[in-house]
Copies of this chain bind each other. A is one copy, B any other.
């Protein structure tokens, strides 16, 4: 008997926006909150990852209203962290800022506050001490996060940022921290750009998934040569060397079913019109990542 099941509409599917795609606002850095929400929703994307500074520009009540009106999910708020300073006024101010960030995360209905640890304090070579202070800071914040229903998502950053941006450098190290507090308060971010090179990646993603610690999966690509400012070295998925099939399969096998953010720091992409960037992001995601979710 000949099957009467209609052929899958492959062409239509390949152009549809994947329901788990989230546009991290950093990808359209120069768009204000209202514009970011509008162009994201208009593209058929259903989720967005927000940053604190554009919220602050309009004020939290307005931000909450704009987000509700957009109909978008908010996959995360970026960012807390930067708490490697030794005890003193700078450290206390950073911890207070993180408490405000936790409150904002809850207010906008995002499940996750992304934490970037911070680099070595100016003039310091004490990497071990800086890492201990990150642990201690998370310890001070974990109860606040738990009470607010917010997950503090530790993002290990690529080791090339260890001195000036984040002393948390591997997924295993982030998990060593998160496991001290439990997945109801602390999780980890798996960002392909930061972890793709890690020989322990498969084992650590599995470990993160088994414990329920994967709070966010972020994707963008790595390509060489790096630009003069290595902070801006990120590319659309598919434009570099990262094996999104392999890493997405690991994350999926680890049980992660949440939104997948595309977060790209790249001057040329920032300089392009936001709507074009969102369309290109959705297409790149559809081709390089979505088939493996």
Contacts and interface: CB of A to CB of B under 8 A. Distances in A.
A224 B159 contact: no
Number of copies: 2
A287 B222 CA distance: 38
Classify the interface of chain A: helix, strand, loop or mixed.
Answer: loop
A8 interface: no
B241 A163 contact: yes
B125 A199 contact: no
B159 A172 contact: no
Interface stretch (A76-84, A99-107, A126-134, A263-271): A126-134
Interface string A126-147: 1110010000000000000000
A173 interface: yes
Contacts of A173: 199
B243 A126 contact: yes
Contact of A169 (B162, B198, B226): B198
Contacts of A127: 196-197, 241, 243
Q: Which 9 A-B pairs have the closest CB atoms?
A: A162-B197, A173-B199, A160-B160, A159-B197, A228-B228, A125-B243, A164-B224, A163-B241, A159-B159
